[in-house]
Chains A and B, each alone.
Chain A
Amino acid sequence: MAQEAATQYERVAEIGGGAYGTVYKARDRLSGQFVALKSVRVQTDQDGLPLSTVREVALLKRLEQFDHPNVVKLMDVCATLRTDQETKVTLVFEHVDQDLKTYLEKAPSPGLPASQIQDLMRQLLCGLAFLHSNCIVHRDLKPENILVTSRGQVKLADFGLARIYSCHMALTPVVVTLWYRAPEVLLQSSYATPVDIWSTGCIFAEMFRRKPLFRGESEVDQLGKIFEVIGLPAEEDWPADVTLSQRNFGPLSHRPITDFVPEISHQGADLLLEMLTFDPLRRISALNALDHLYFQEG
């Protein structure tokens, strides 16, 4: 690991904070390009960095060899000893100066053409299928960390960090958006790859609507908003061992998805509902979504 982070990369602004430590926009003095610096402080002992951190970093570096077009590049990893007990690990990622939120806001009325939405979705799912095949769950997919280059190339950012962080630090309570969160996460039941497909479904709908599909203000409110669209799940589909009961909701009369996403095609709506399936085990996977008939429309 290189030691020269402090001199090669010069921080210019803070662009993210919270539970995972601070994220900075920085400039690479050598190339002039902007990069994103993500640091995490980890406890160290006489054996050096904890094995789990080394393993996670190695996994991220291994991903790099595939040079996947739809995930941001990990350009560098630096470790700086802060004290005897603490080391700062800094990951240097490629920085793209546009996110999907900005890209959608920019689109002239009445929004993105259907063909462009299809192209963005294909790229997003390709990136996700790649992460999932490497056992990486993003966990926090949202328009702010889906980057779009000026050529319209999608790159997923902020993946693979959750585990590095959560191993070594107490999560500080921060306000994180609930709007893209899967029901099983809201119910605190499970956190596997399907959680990212749920978020992708929410984002798919948002590409048409140009505003979020479910804007909940609390976990319960978020679930309520979800059930207004997908209907209240049957009691036997409700996960066991969760505090919130199915009977807290409903009875609800749900409306067709096209009421919420009127511009979507028939196949698009079908794919969207596959992604917004309550049961994570029956939710479509990224790979199967790429094979959906929606992507043959043209």
Chain B
Amino acid sequence: MIREDELASAAATGNVDHVGILLQAGVDVNAVNRFGRTPLQVMMMGSTRVAQLLLKHGANPNLSDESTGDTPLHDAARGGFLDTVKMLIEFNADIRAQDYRSRRPVDLARENGHLEVVTFLESL
């Protein structure tokens, strides 16, 4: 596995330690894996620590998925992971970003019944 794939996989499995080691070793936080995605786009959305580590290393929070237009904020909001939503926004994730069906993160949170996330996003 090439190192970019390894970093994306570590992020996707919520393996904070491995993410840290790979970043220390100089793997580019914004490089894409063999599926064309960055670690932040594929990370385990419930792992706020992975999110924080990637963002602190300069991960771009506003890349959208080429096939659906979802940003990481869309995915965190859909899953109801409030801490990760807050973390992404702290690092300037765009709350007005729209997917290819013109839905914003708050719309996905509402569709999935994550009221805490809806309330938070609407308070901004």
Binding site for B on A (CB under 8 A): 10-16, 25, 27, 29, 32-34, 96-99, 101-103, 105-106, 144, 148-151
Of residues 87 through 110 on chain B, the ones whose CB sits less than 8 Å from some CB of chain A are 99, 108
Partner of A13, one of B42, B48, B80: B42
List 26 A-B pairs, Cβ < 8 Å.
A10-B35, A11-B35, A12-B41, A13-B8, A13-B12, A13-B37, A14-B8, A16-B13, A25-B12, A27-B67, A29-B68, A32-B68, A32-B78, A96-B46, A97-B75, A97-B79, A98-B14, A98-B46, A98-B79, A98-B81, A99-B44, A102-B46, A103-B46, A105-B16, A150-B79, A150-B82
Partner of A150, one of B13, B33, B46, B74: B46
Q: Let me know if B30 is at the binding interface, CB within 8 A.
A: no
Residue of A nearest to B81 (CB): A150
Partner of A102, one of B44, B82, B108: B44
Contact B78 A12 (CB under 8 A): no
Binary CB contact string for chain B from 34 to 65 against chain A (1 if under 8 A, 0 otherwise): 01010001101111110000000000000001
Partner of B14, one of A11, A33, A99: A99
Given contacts A10-B67, A34-B75, A105-B16, are A97 and B81 in contact (CB under 8 A)?
Answer: yes
Residues in B whose Cβ lies below 8 Å from that of A102: 14, 44, 46-47, 49
Contact A101 B14 (CB under 8 A): yes
Contact B13 A144 (CB under 8 A): yes
6 smallest A-B Cβ distances: which pairs? A98-B46, A150-B80, A97-B45, A13-B42, A13-B12, A102-B14
Within the complex, the shortest CB–CB distance from A161 to chain B, in Å, comes to 17
Residues in B whose Cβ lies below 8 Å from that of A33: 78
Residues in A whose Cβ lies below 8 Å from that of B33: 13
A98, B13: Cα distance in complex, Å:
9
Q: Let me know if B5 is at the binding interface, CB within 8 A.
A: yes
Residues in B whose Cβ lies below 8 Å from that of A14: 1, 5, 8-9, 12
Residues in A whose Cβ lies below 8 Å from that of B65: 12, 27
Binding site for A on B (CB under 8 A): 1, 5, 8-9, 11-14, 16, 33, 35, 37, 41-42, 44-49, 65, 67-68, 70, 74-75, 78-83, 99, 108, 114
A34, B81: Cα distance in complex, Å:
14
Contact B44 A98 (CB under 8 A): yes
Partner of A12, one of B42, B46, B48, B81: B42
Residues in A whose Cβ lies below 8 Å from that of B5: 13-14
A106, B79: Cα distance in complex, Å:
16
Contact B49 A13 (CB under 8 A): no
Residues in A whose Cβ lies below 8 Å from that of B47: 98, 102, 106
Contact B35 A105 (CB under 8 A): no
Residue of A nearest to B101 (CB): A32
Residues in B whose Cβ lies below 8 Å from that of A101: 14
Given contacts A97-B46, A98-B14, A105-B49, are A13 and B81 in contact (CB under 8 A)?
Answer: no
Residues in B whose Cβ lies below 8 Å from that of A15: 9, 12-13
Given contacts A27-B65, A29-B67, are A98 and B45 in contact (CB under 8 A)?
Answer: yes
Partner of A32, one of B9, B11, B13, B70: B70
Residues in B whose Cβ lies below 8 Å from that of A150: 46, 79-82, 114
Within the complex, the shortest CB–CB distance from A94 to chain B, in Å, comes to 12
Within the complex, the shortest CB–CB distance from B44 to chain A, in Å, comes to 5
A14, B1: Cα distance in complex, Å:
10
A151, B108: Cα distance in complex, Å:
16
Contact A106 B75 (CB under 8 A): no
Within the complex, the shortest CB–CB distance from B37 to chain A, in Å, comes to 5
Contact B45 A12 (CB under 8 A): no
